[in-house]
Amino acid sequence: MVGTQCCPRWWKEIDRIGLGHSLPSLSYNSLLHGQFCTKVLNCLNVGGESSALIAAGGSDPILRIWDPHKPGTSAPVFQFLSHISWISACKWHDKSWFHLISSSYDGKVMLWDLRTAWPLAVIESHKDKVLCADWWKGDSVISGGADSKLCISSGISVL
């Protein structure tokens, strides 16, 4: 579709597809057994201990973490609030249950630890929106942005 970005995501223990959609008139109805997120979602990633947590970011500056196995609540179990614009990507570290990164339209990539309320590191290598980010080679973060740059930040130790 012209002018839209769709990102279907599966989670192995849930029998529905969650669909994030970037049109402002649509909101995301979560795939977390009827749990709701009232903002458009740009990214989802499954991780944490035993891949039991779902990180999500969207059209506000809040990185949210849900535990779909936590009974009786639809509220996120963690909310990280240090970005100042939309979250564009989030990714769990594949060797650490506690660490994940997020990127944002504020031009920053942040490293988070579930055991702290503040980012462990803030990477400011872009001069415009950061559109995507991922872990690379274990202790490096790779990111791409609207400034047409591909940046690699190395030496980010989480283990």
Check which CATH number belongs to the domain holding 71 and give it.
Answer: 2.130.10.10
- Taking residue 17's Cβ as centre, other Cβ atoms within 10 Å add up to 10
Cα–Cα distance, 12 to 56 (Å, whole number): 16
Nearest in space to 125 (alpha carbons), one of 154, 152, 105: 152
Specify if 93 maps to a domain. Answer: yes
Specify if 29 maps to a domain. Answer: yes
At 37 the pLDDT is 61
Q: What is the mean pLDDT of the chain?
A: 81
Specify if 152 maps to a domain. Answer: no
Overall domain count for the chain = 1
Lowest mean pLDDT among 17-21, 49-53, 54-58, 122-126: 17-21
Cα–Cα distance, 123 to 36 (Å, whole number): 30
Domain that holds residue 14: 6-125
Specify if 153 maps to a domain. Answer: no
Specify if 47 maps to a domain. Answer: yes
Specify if 145 maps to a domain. Answer: no
Lowest mean pLDDT among 24-28, 96-100, 134-138, 153-157: 24-28
pLDDT at 60 over 80: yes
Cα–Cα distance, 137 to 85 (Å, whole number): 28
At 155 the pLDDT is 83
pLDDT at 32 over 70: no
Sheet of 150-153: strand order equals 130-136, 140-145, 150-153
For the whole prediction, is pTM greater than 0.85? no
Q: Residues 135, 101: contact at Cβ < 8 Å?
A: yes
Q: What is the mean predicted confidence (pLDDT) over 123-149?
A: 96
